[in-house]
Amino acid sequence: GDSVTQTEGLVTLTKGLPVMLNCTYQTTYSPFLFWYVQHLNEAPKLLLKSSTDNKRTEHQGFYATLHKSSSSFHLQKSSVQLSDSALYFCALNSGTYQRFGTGTKLQVVP
Amino acid sequence: AQTIHQWPVAEIKAVGSPLSLGCTIKGKSSPNLYWYWQATGGTLQQLFYSITVGQVESVVQLNLSASRPKDDQFILSTEKLLLSHSGFYLCAWSLDWGTSAETLYFGSGTRLTVL
């Protein structure tokens, strides 16, 4: 069946360092992938989305490229800030159902 | 601009007691509406969805029910709470149900603690 896998539960980084949060998926549909960000005690919000193979999508300093050959949609940022500390969800539109990964908590320290 | 309002913000309830959570969408006609549940620090599990007034589809069985009495209102309820119902309940809306580009817009959520 369709699935989304986020391998890191917690990522702790020092401010200013680059980050990559992993997301891989399995689907029988044409994939449409999303990243949502959820700050503490807030609702999740869309960060970026893509269905175009090998095209970089960017928003608020974060970027991701959908690679259909490897079924991946990793989230990256070149220099993390303290305000980036949050829970990040990768999601896959699977027919009529949006399926979320288990989430990666990003913790940025001074 | 669209707004989504959830109520209450938080609830502390006893096991076995009833529950009713609500969600109202303003600024969009005929939105697709969803209920999601999130355990503390956990993933988002879709519970119900509705694409029109009076029609609600269940995605998972958690001894909860949902209703859509008005175009802009979505209600989540149960007659008897279980400890496992504790968590964060999120209402969401979208416009593109069934399309691959569907984006979800979440409300601020209700934090439920069952004791």
pLDDT at B47: 94
B104 touches chain A (CB under 8 A): yes
Task: Please state the length of chain A.
Answer: 110
Q: Is residue A89 part of a domain?
A: yes
The pair of structure tokens assigned to B83 is: 């400890």
Q: Hey, is A74 helix, strand or coil? A: coil
Distance from CA of A17 to the nearest CA of B (A): 24
pLDDT at A98: 85
Expressed as residue numbers, the domain containing A32 is 3-53+73-109
**What angle is formed at CA A88 by the lines to CA A58 and CA B66, rounded to 5 degrees?**
115
What residue type is assigned to position A38 of the chain? Answer: Q
A10 touches chain B (CB under 8 A): no
A48 touches chain B (CB under 8 A): no
pLDDT at B41: 79
A60-92 per-position pLDDT tens digit: 999 999 999 999 999 999 999 999 999 999 999
pLDDT at B95: 80
Q: Which residues, 6 or more positions from B77, have their beta carbon under 8 angstroms from its beta carbon?
A: B18, B19, B20, B21, B64, B65, B66, B67
pLDDT at A10: 96
Q: Please give the Cα distance from B67 to B55 (Å, whole number).
A: 7
B59-78 per-position pLDDT tens digit: 887 899 999 999 999 999 99
Instruction: Name the nearest CA neighbour of B21 among B76, B68, B62, B73.
Output: B76
The domain that contains A46 carries what CATH number?
2.60.40.10
Which of A39, A96, A97, A102 to mutate to probe the B interface, most B CBs <10 Å?
A96
Q: Hey, is A42 helix, strand or coil? A: coil
Q: Is residue A35 part of a domain?
A: yes
pLDDT at A30: 86
Q: How far does Cα A17 stand from its chain's mean position?
A: 17
Q: Which residues, 6 or more positions from B61, have their beta carbon under 8 angstroms from its beta carbon?
A: none
Mean pLDDT of B17-42: 91
* Domain covering B3-114 assigned CATH 3.40.190.290 in the classification: no
Q: How many domains does chain A have?
A: 1
A105 touches chain B (CB under 8 A): yes
A51 touches chain B (CB under 8 A): yes
Distances (CA, A) of A8 to A2, A13, A42, B101: 19, 13, 21, 26
Q: Is residue A21 part of a domain?
A: yes
- Block residue for tokens 């970026």: A48
Q: Please give the Cα distance from A90 to A9 (Å, whole number).
A: 12
- Block residue for tokens 């938080």: B10
Which of B23, B103, B111 to mutate to probe the A interface, most A CBs <10 Å?
B103
Compare CB distances from B90 to A43, A49, A95 and report the shortest one's residue: A43
Domain boundaries, chain B: 3-114
pLDDT at A74: 98
Mean pLDDT of B87-105: 83
pLDDT at A103: 94
A4-61 per-position pLDDT tens digit: 999 999 999 999 999 999 999 999 888 899 999 999 888 899 999 999 999 999 999 9
The pair of structure tokens assigned to B62 is: 């958690």
pLDDT at A96: 65
Highest mean pLDDT among A91-105, B34-48, B67-81: B67-81
The answer to whether the bond into A31 is cis (omega within 30° of 0) is: no
Looking at per-residue confidence, does B41 or A81 come out higher?
Answer: A81
Q: In the predicted model, is pLDDT for residue B98 greater than 70?
A: no
Q: Is residue A58 part of a domain?
A: no
Q: In the predicted model, is pLDDT for residue B22 greater than 90?
A: yes
